[in-house]
Chains A and B, each alone.
Chain A
């Protein structure tokens, strides 16, 4: 089956700097893929090559099987993009912009779609407002509406929630989930790991231009993080010896076990009478921990 986005051995040099180095990944239809990495890791460059804003040095990018360098016109109709930085459009109002962008994509009569987006993104009351009078958050919403106005099937979001307040961020997440449920494929770059953990089916971690880890979000977390198991006892026990024990504080015992290790195994090895256990609390690792381990460990995890 044709993948909505497929990036193959992509290399992009800016002078002597290699911004993207042999990056390969693809996104299956209907998934949200998170490209994570610190600032300057090459996330935006991947998007720039995909949208033809930059040419690749070598390697190629295909959108629904269409090579973006060879047939940009067709490839561009399949994708919508929200750039990282806010775009100011001084001359037109919200509604006019959406009509103009529909036209750029070859659609002259697009009323119902524009109404749908205005409504979904809370722009209905601002439709006649010139863009320069919109707040930052509203401009961000307009950029998303603009990217979706031509019915794309692949959405590229370059740090869509950077500098956006909590409420708007939540509503954008909700909207992305909705788009996904409607069958849209989304590439999201972000450095808010909570965002990626909540939204992304799969993530790729990129650092210094190299993609060092790709996989389903939950698998990555399980593989790279520890689970914290906290026992609260009825009566304190002395002298517990266990390799996973990290803290003992009276009635409280804290263990950190690899995500692959089962709580039952731990319990058996401890030999604590079950009646002596008042409570067990297990916290899973977060993507942030996984992310940090990947970056610290460099390529040894790859």
Chain B
């Protein structure tokens, strides 16, 4: 009984945790996938379809087309953040987080596994949102939406989701209760997302608000995705790529710091 079987400690523990993170949100898919998709579909319906007829952002594209990439990125980022933060918070509450600490997983393993779990959920929710948007677009604008720069799209989606997954880790480890997490989401993340040009082009803003908006990193992520899908952007794509990369690096250090100093102990 004490003859140990084959054991691989470099990748297997990490892989097991990634798989666990993905299976966790799929187990409660109603809450983690269906609800966010219904949410963004409502945005598409209300803003894109009904109000969109009266709005125009840029001459060559319809408002519905403009809205789709913004909503995809908003859903993806939001869900990436939710995935890692709620996974950690629930694990703190149940005492499971102590188990993670006792398993042979390095902080780096935990960090990347949680971030990849968020990335995965971001892609699932963002992807379905995109498909719903595609269907609306086909139905109302009677055209197919062709992704103009797929690699750019993948870069912004991936880097953005990983960054938000890591922010989720940092917040959840720092949090002392559920309220802390919802406070960060409600007072910081959501305003930045809504004001990041999901629903409008910053060209339409007054010069003052336009310059204020330029300090919002989410503006760059959202416009990066819009460039990937439609080939248009309010900001330079290179700048957007660099800002997104910067956000990824910064969030990594934040999460790393939280994992080192934050508490694994149960509430």
Contacts and interface: CB of A to CB of B under 8 A. Distances in A.
A and B interact: yes
Interface of A: 51-53, 72-74, 76-77, 81, 83, 85-92, 96, 100-110, 113, 116, 146, 150-151, 153, 182-184
B95 A91 contact: no
B7 interface: yes
Contact of B101 (A51, A105, A153): A51
Interface string B1-37: 1111111110011011101100110011000000000
Interface string B95-110: 1101111111110000
In order of increasing CB-CB distance, the 8 nearest A-B pairs are A103-B16, A104-B103, A76-B104, A88-B94, A87-B95, A106-B12, A106-B7, A73-B104
A146 B28 CA distance: 23
B27 A107 contact: no
B101 A103 contact: no
**Chain A contact residues: helix, strand, loop or mixed:** loop
B7 A83 contact: no
A141 to B, nearest CB: 16
Interface in B77-117: 90, 94-96, 98-106
Nearest to B1: A182
B265 interface: yes
Contact of B104 (A72, A86, A96): A72
A182 B104 contact: no
Contact of A53 (B5, B13, B102): B102
B149 interface: no
Nearest to B11: A106
Contact of A88 (B3, B15, B95, B106): B95
A151 B7 CA distance: 10
18 contacts: A76-B103, A77-B7, A86-B95, A87-B98, A91-B28, A96-B23, A100-B16, A100-B20, A103-B16, A104-B100, A106-B8, A106-B104, A107-B12, A108-B8, A110-B5, A113-B5, A182-B1, A183-B2
Contacts of B94: 87-90
Contacts of B103: 76, 101, 104-105
Interface of B: 1-9, 12-13, 15-17, 19-20, 23-24, 27-28, 90, 94-96, 98-106, 264-266
Nearest to A88: B94
A52 B24 contact: no
A53 B101 contact: yes
A115 to B, nearest CB: 13
A97 to B, nearest CB: 10
Nearest to A77: B104
A31 to B, nearest CB: 15
Contacts of A87: 94-96, 98-99
Contacts of A102: 16
Contacts of A153: 2
B17 A106 contact: no
B13 A104 contact: yes
Contacts of B19: 100, 103
A221 B3 CA distance: 36
A191 to B, nearest CB: 21
Nearest to B17: A104
